[in-house]
Chains A and B, each alone.
Chain A
């Protein structure tokens, strides 16, 4: 493909700071953290691109998370994401400033924006990546993504084009610990008559209940699989989750059967989670489930089958009948939980 970019003209790693209804999505911080790591490897800067209405107040947090520069475009017409309007702004900015890598979240918004921008810029775009590495010598991004329904991983490169673009799944990169003492530069962009002749108009936004986002923020998740047998038995995992201060989730068969809402399905066609503790109860550990939870801090498996693949991803586990093990776990947690609380309160 004919294209002449002078690779040396392109420097810096950019992150698209996604906002939804005025709030920056948590994945933004994860991406800034990842960008920081890559930027340190090739000794360059990190920038965040923040577009919306009244979102400039997030610039400091972007800096604290690792950004050196924050581009802020604010305008009432930018309140709601629109592919064409945002796309035009971003393309213009990229052409002016020439970043070598541009990361966007693999969300509905990030995916649309990324493909639109990559098409305009005629550069490569790796989809839905879960690992990012740097070939330091070549300043080449090695972006790895699951394909074939999560059964295979592929590392994609786009060595000769700039920027090197990728979308990154939420929850696969660690969220950085903000450092309020970091310094950065906030660059406000002239936006002008940004939505003139915009082809689309947002008529209405109806927010769904928080239910659909509950697993996003949970530190502890107790997930039930088909081993639980029936909906009536779900109380077992509910009690354990409650004792641990966590949320209940399920594998696909559980949610398909309607025992739990779809919003609580973990996995490839469900939600990707990254809690500190994930307890898999009666879940076999099919790849499509595992891709959604393998980034959890500690994975606990309870399964009666010692050969269940879940034990290959779990850190700790018990081979046994969940109907006996889970109530015992709940009881043990409750006993120790009380003590833990007393200790903390007592100092």
Chain B
């Protein structure tokens, strides 16, 4: 069994604040974390290895310091961390991101043997498109199993997997051929903890770093150059300019005049102003 887990290092958006003066995101002092759902993808891969043996490779595209995210995964038990890093990969949209990840997976397959399953998180906290897993599946020409909340059966010999997917209003049980790409939701499993010795050891661990040339990627298809979308503007939503109409007075009085206003202005569906006639 060989699983490749794609992880992304993200700023912890719960810590990002908007600078009231400049209206831009203030990321100072914001910690970088492994995208939370990616840890569930890693956990699924580690559970596969616990049962079937084999190997778990974690892969990320990002700046040099994303190596620390890979080390966190090594501390949890991954066998190898691969960092795709090169200035030419920078500012990739999801199309160029999946191209880079695909290129790296080609090389991993060539050098480390066939990959049976690729796992990603459902969404990343920052970009939050949820497009990388599906796009990667298509690049790899393997089936996509997204929004996975349970793995019912898996047989790497017979190349078959049965998963549950949670979609709007239903749980779908889907059978698929392997290899496949799974995008994992936090409901899939409980993430294990790294032991302190493992954490310490992982701080020294080597990660494999590859450039555009190392993975044999076409620089024209990488990063900003390879991205069909561009962020043409980014801004903090403007506060509304029209002000909220406040109703004042004693609670009973304020409430009554508010309700009168809502009815008079037809703001409550099904309620007509007193005296109004049906058309």
A residues apposed to B, CB below 8 Å: 1-3, 20-21, 25, 80, 83-84, 87, 107-109, 111-112, 114-116, 118-120, 122-128, 142, 146-149, 151-161, 199-208, 212-213, 219-220, 244-245, 276-277, 287, 297-298, 300-301, 311-321, 324-325, 328-329, 331-333, 336-337, 339-340, 343-344, 347
A1 in complex: contacting residue of B13, B128, B226, B278, CB < 8 Å: B226
List 12 contacting pairs A-B, 8 Å CB cutoff, sorted by A.
A83-B143, A115-B134, A118-B131, A119-B95, A123-B228, A124-B228, A153-B236, A200-B143, A201-B174, A328-B251, A331-B252, A343-B272
A207 and B169 form a contact (CB under 8 A): yes
B1 at interface by CB-CB < 8 Å: no
B232 to nearest A CB, angstroms?
5
**In the complex, chain B residues 118-139 whose Cβ is within 8 Å of any chain A Cβ:** 125-131, 133-135, 137-139
Known pairs A84-B143, A201-B174; A245 contacts B269 (CB<8 A):
yes
A-binding segment of B49-57, B66-74, B254-262: B254-262
Query: How long is the Cα–Cα vector from A346 to B169 in the complex, in angstroms?
Result: 40
B232 in complex: contacting residue of A118, A127, A142, A245, CB < 8 Å: A142
A124 and B167 form a contact (CB under 8 A): no
A112 and B144 form a contact (CB under 8 A): yes
B16 and A151 form a contact (CB under 8 A): yes
B231 and A154 form a contact (CB under 8 A): yes
For residue B133, which residues in chain A have a CB less than 8 angstroms away from its CB?
115
B221 at interface by CB-CB < 8 Å: yes
A200 and B251 form a contact (CB under 8 A): no
A316 and B261 form a contact (CB under 8 A): yes
Known pairs A84-B143, A212-B168, A332-B256; A1 contacts B244 (CB<8 A):
no
Query: How long is the Cα–Cα vector from A212 to B127 in the complex, in angstroms?
Result: 26
Query: How long is the Cα–Cα vector from A112 to B180 in the complex, in angstroms?
Result: 14
B25 and A200 form a contact (CB under 8 A): no
Interface string of B161-203 (1 = CB under 8 A from A): 0100111111111111100100000000000000000000000
Q: Which of B226, B232, B236, B265 has the most CB of A within 10 A?
A: B232
B246 and A318 form a contact (CB under 8 A): yes
Chain B residues touching A, range = 35 or more
Given A1-B220, A316-B246, 12 extra CB contacts under 8 A = A116-B137, A125-B129, A147-B128, A148-B13, A148-B25, A154-B233, A199-B142, A245-B270, A298-B262, A316-B244, A336-B274, A343-B276
For residue A312, which residues in chain B have a CB less than 8 angstroms away from its CB?
239-240, 244
Known pairs A83-B134, A203-B175; A320 contacts B95 (CB<8 A):
no
Known pairs A212-B169, A219-B269, A340-B263; A112 contacts B247 (CB<8 A):
no
A122 to nearest B CB, angstroms?
7
A158 and B169 form a contact (CB under 8 A): no
**In the complex, chain B residues 212-263 whose Cβ is within 8 Å of any chain A Cβ:** 220-221, 225-237, 239-240, 244-248, 251-252, 254-256, 258-263
Known pairs A154-B231, A208-B171; A315 contacts B244 (CB<8 A):
yes
B230 in complex: contacting residue of A127, A156, A313, CB < 8 Å: A156
For residue A318, which residues in chain B have a CB less than 8 angstroms away from its CB?
246-248, 251, 254-255, 258
Query: How long is the Cα–Cα vector from A87 to B261 in the complex, in angstroms?
Result: 50
Q: Which of A115, A160, A276 has the most CB of B within 10 A?
A: A115
Residue of B nearest to A117 (CB): B138
B14 at interface by CB-CB < 8 Å: yes
For residue A207, which residues in chain B have a CB less than 8 angstroms away from its CB?
169-170
Residue of B nearest to A204 (CB): B173
**In the complex, chain B residues 93-139 whose Cβ is within 8 Å of any chain A Cβ:** 93-96, 98, 125-131, 133-135, 137-139
For residue B248, which residues in chain A have a CB less than 8 angstroms away from its CB?
318-319
For residue B236, which residues in chain A have a CB less than 8 angstroms away from its CB?
151-153
For residue A314, which residues in chain B have a CB less than 8 angstroms away from its CB?
244
